[in-house]
Structure 1
């Protein structure tokens, strides 16, 4: 790693130790023209991706002390396409579940969707209008465990109904996490969604919203609302800036990997001040 001044989004030594084996193994498997030099430090590539994710800047606006932005994006695209990003995410999720005293394989989950606006570079063919939310853009369909950690992620046009996207997620969930037998959903999911769940061996229960004024956390379902809050702390996810839905899915995995690695190491985003600059408190 270079001796540059650290950014707040950089991974610490202990955070890097959590994910480094996956990236080292990836690099060792790479063969062919152009792979012998291996000029760039993989930790710096990860730092650059997290910088974009957390700050929301375009790739070409990466600070010059990172590797070239085209190189960073090339790694980002390769890791999304070959499953490396998801592998790192799943590794951190399993570790996080264990620190909470849970088995790595959950038995219950929560499903929901979030519509967000898109940027001007997103093709019309991959976006749509959510008539209910009156948002033109894309929709993020998520299934999380009861800790709010992502188990399945799908990005579609916002015009895709929650139930249609949810059915795809249930099918994926049944294949990748067969231990899940219960899923909680809100009233926006149709009867066909519940029937699809039964068809793949999952009992789907709709949690009804209470008929009272004001905000009230919904039993079982509040955890996924918190997950969407975690995602929105990453400015790259306030809108959908990615040209393809699959790259949007990868950005979600990176945001969750950032969140989980910080939780595992007990870290928060550092202050700009050094400890010596903080005035002492008086009693």
Structure 2
């Protein structure tokens, strides 16, 4: 990472015990090196053991990642960076509107059958990632399920957690896959207006659909099927979600 990026996250990294006078041995690796290794792994989609030797040993990197993930540090990194980007764009740190969408992706044969399913509409055997983004396309929440999980049922799991985290959120744009009882339920139970943005029927081929394109752009930027290691919860379809 650049010096500017490191300056933005340095104060978020926990101070080692020995530096705070709480005992223990000095750590053998700089936190900046650890973060660079984690970013490399995510960006390139490699296995932990495939980290280049330029980085600290992968077992140490994995240990730091696990510790930071379980204490919510990585989520805090992401939330603060999102708030900073929104502020720089002249927006409030917390969004008031969002877009929800999903995308089915193929899973390798090695992926356990209990964590994947068949999406008949898309003819894809794999997993489905359900994303909620703000109007800039910045990620608010993600839920990974088997590909046969329904959009409406999954949204019913996502929206309560989303509303609890973003209290000022009052409007969600979605495609026609989210029509039905979900719209009434969200308005009654969560004070969320789910507005369906339909594609014009007389258009053929690719067209940019208002509002929905923001979520679709984010989905295109996250093509790799990743295992979400968040411990925030599990939904009724067996998927795990992370903020």
TM-score range, shorter chain: 0.7 to 0.9
Deviations 1:220-276 (A, max 9, x none): 1111111112223xxxxx233x3x6538866xx7xxxxxxxxxxxxxxxxxxxxxxx
Structure 1 partner of 2:218: 227
Quote the RMSD (CA, aligned, Å): 2.5
More helix per residue? 1
Distance in 2 (alpha carbons) for counterparts of 1:132 and 1:149: 27
Is 1:246–2:230 an aligned residue pair?
yes
Return closer, same or farther for 1:106/1:163 CA change in 2, 3 Å cut-off: same
Higher relative contact order (CA 8 A, sep 6+): 1
- 1:182 pairs with one of 158, 171, 177: 171
Paired residues in the alignment total 232
Is 1:92–2:76 an aligned residue pair?
no
Return closer, same or farther for 1:39/1:219 CA change in 2, 3 Å cut-off: same
Return closer, same or farther for 1:28/1:106 CA change in 2, 3 Å cut-off: farther
Distance in 2 (alpha carbons) for counterparts of 1:80 and 1:120: 28
Deviation at 1:203, TM superposition (A): 0.5
Return closer, same or farther for 1:209/1:30 CA change in 2, 3 Å cut-off: farther
SS in 2 for 1:246: coil
Structure 2 partner of 1:204: 194
Normalised to the residue count of structure 1, the TM-score between the two structures is 0.75
Distance in 1 (alpha carbons) for counterparts of 2:7 and 2:172: 34
Q: Which runs of 5+ in 2 are unaligned?
A: 232-239
Deviation at 1:128, TM superposition (A): 1.9
- 1:113 pairs with one of 99, 102, 122: 102
Q: Which runs of 5+ in 1 are unaligned?
A: 1-10, 233-237, 254-283
Normalised to the residue count of structure 2, the TM-score between the two structures is 0.86
More strand per residue? 2
- 1:62 pairs with one of 44, 51, 74: 51
